[in-house]
Amino acid sequence: MIIAGGTYLERCQYPRWERLFGSGMRAAIAVSGLSEGTVLHTYVPTVWKSDAEATLSSFGIVGKLVPTRHELIFEYLDTLQKSFVPDVPDDKEQEKPLTLDGDVVLRFGFMEGSAKVTGRTVVYDPQNSYANFHANGSTADRLAMILSEEELLGFGGLGDASRTDDNLAAAAQNVFESKPAPQIILTKDRLGGLQVFFGESPISIKSYAAESYFRIGVGDVLAAAFAHAWGEIGMEPMEAADFAARSIAYFVEDARLPLLPPPQLSDLRHSRKDGDHLRLLGVGRFEAKSLVMQTEILISDFGGSTAFTYIDWDGEIHAEGPIDLLIIGSSEGPSISDEIRERVGEPKVVFWPERDRRTVQRRFPASRIAGDFPSALYHAMRSPSP
């Protein structure tokens, strides 16, 4: 496979994590064990060149590295939330486009330049650039686009519309009516689910269950897995999308790469959506209460809803059913768990920052214990299917 995509530095505070990745580097590593002779075309600043070459070489990837003046660094508070996105260089500072051709090509949008590609089968992930695939002279005999729901609305001329099924379908139809048009559109939600558009009603691909949820780079892995399955193996689009969903579930457990071949992912279980009418409880000082309020916003952004939220102990708590997500402030002592269980029972998911996982599990033996906030939110909104 030939891949064109960025190489950027990524830093995360919780968990502490720093890697030289970006969409291109991550996708190349993802398929390095599946696609023999993977080639990555990317821009790399001189200061990162030796690290990039060593990483690519260790995975057997051929690197076509073009020098750039731009050292682009993405900062994350946690793996769900960016805290800093570098500015896109203006037109005068953009690098000359990369030019490449091949049988199967995966093209990502860049911040510092672009890639003009010619391919038989091409998968295109614009990376929020809203750049039309063909605008720079790129061509493809078969084209698939990987888009977030927001991107699909933007490409379909409905950028101000809400993310309803009808609006997404209308936006997809607008994209298909443009000429030349992609044959396939895949949209991704923020918890591993996919929808495949062929020009009619979308077909949903169920997400698969994971034990933890490291989300940085999920879209890159999705694009790489689908490009391999659809373009190189020759799977039908639905089968390729299902493999991509399985690959996401594999990856999000501690950012595992390279990806595994389809037969080795056959025993994964589907997850079901539990994101409606969630019950949240935050116990502790300002940090816990603030995090619960932020959680409400994220649940809505992820397509879920909350039934109620409590952020202190004032008054009596009357809840129909157990608490879905309990967040305990890091300064709270272990004895608080006894009072919580007495008043609300065993929560579905517990997130207690700075506490040893085994200690928390002893305090809440019937609950799922999340070691990080993204995993806590994921498990509150998703459960393995029976």
| Tens-digit pLDDT profile for residues 90-147 | 888 999 999 999 999 999 999 999 999 999 999 999 998 889 999 999 999 999 999 9
Domain boundary among 229, 252, 269: 269
Instruction: Assign residue 341 the CATH number of its domain.
Output: 3.40.50
Identify the pLDDT of residue 314: 57
Residues 215 and 309 in one domain: no
Domain boundary among 241, 269, 297: 269
Residues 174 and 237 in one domain: yes
Contact 303, 189 (CB under 8 A): yes
Cis amide prior to 202 (ω within 30 degrees): no
Identify the pLDDT of residue 169: 92
- Average pLDDT rounded to a whole number, residues 44-72: 97
Residues 378 and 285 in one domain: yes
**321 vs 296: CA distance, rounded Å:** 18
Residues 302 and 261 in one domain: no
What residues form DSSP beta bridges with 325? 280, 349
Q: DSSP secondary structure string, 86-145?
A: PPPP-GGGPPPPEEEEEEEEEEE--SS--EEEEEEEEEEE-TT----GGGGT-EEEEEEE
| Tens-digit pLDDT profile for residues 276-298 | 889 898 888 888 888 888 999 99
Q: Tell me the residue range of the domain where 58 lies.
A: 2-269
Residues 281 and 256 in one domain: no
| Tens-digit pLDDT profile for residues 188-237 | 888 888 999 987 678 999 999 999 999 999 999 999 999 999 999 999 99
Identify the pLDDT of residue 167: 92
Domain boundary among 232, 254, 269: 269
**198 vs 182: CA distance, rounded Å:** 9
Residues 167 and 213 in one domain: yes
Residues 249 and 306 in one domain: no
Residues 97 and 184 in one domain: yes
**Residue 19 one-letter amino acid:** R
367 torsion bin: left (phi>0), alpha (psi -120 to 50), beta (else): beta
Percentages helix, strand, coil for the chain, rounded to the nearest 5?
A: 35, 30, 40
Residues 287 and 247 in one domain: no
Copy the structure tokens of residue 150.
């927001």
Residues 277 and 223 in one domain: no
Structural domains counted in the chain: 2
Residues 364 and 225 in one domain: no
| Tens-digit pLDDT profile for residues 232-257 | 999 999 999 999 999 999 999 999 99
Residues 71 and 219 in one domain: yes
87 burial (CB, 10 Å; 0-12 / 13-18 / 19+) is: exposed
> Residue 39, Cβ neighbours under 10 Å: how many?
18
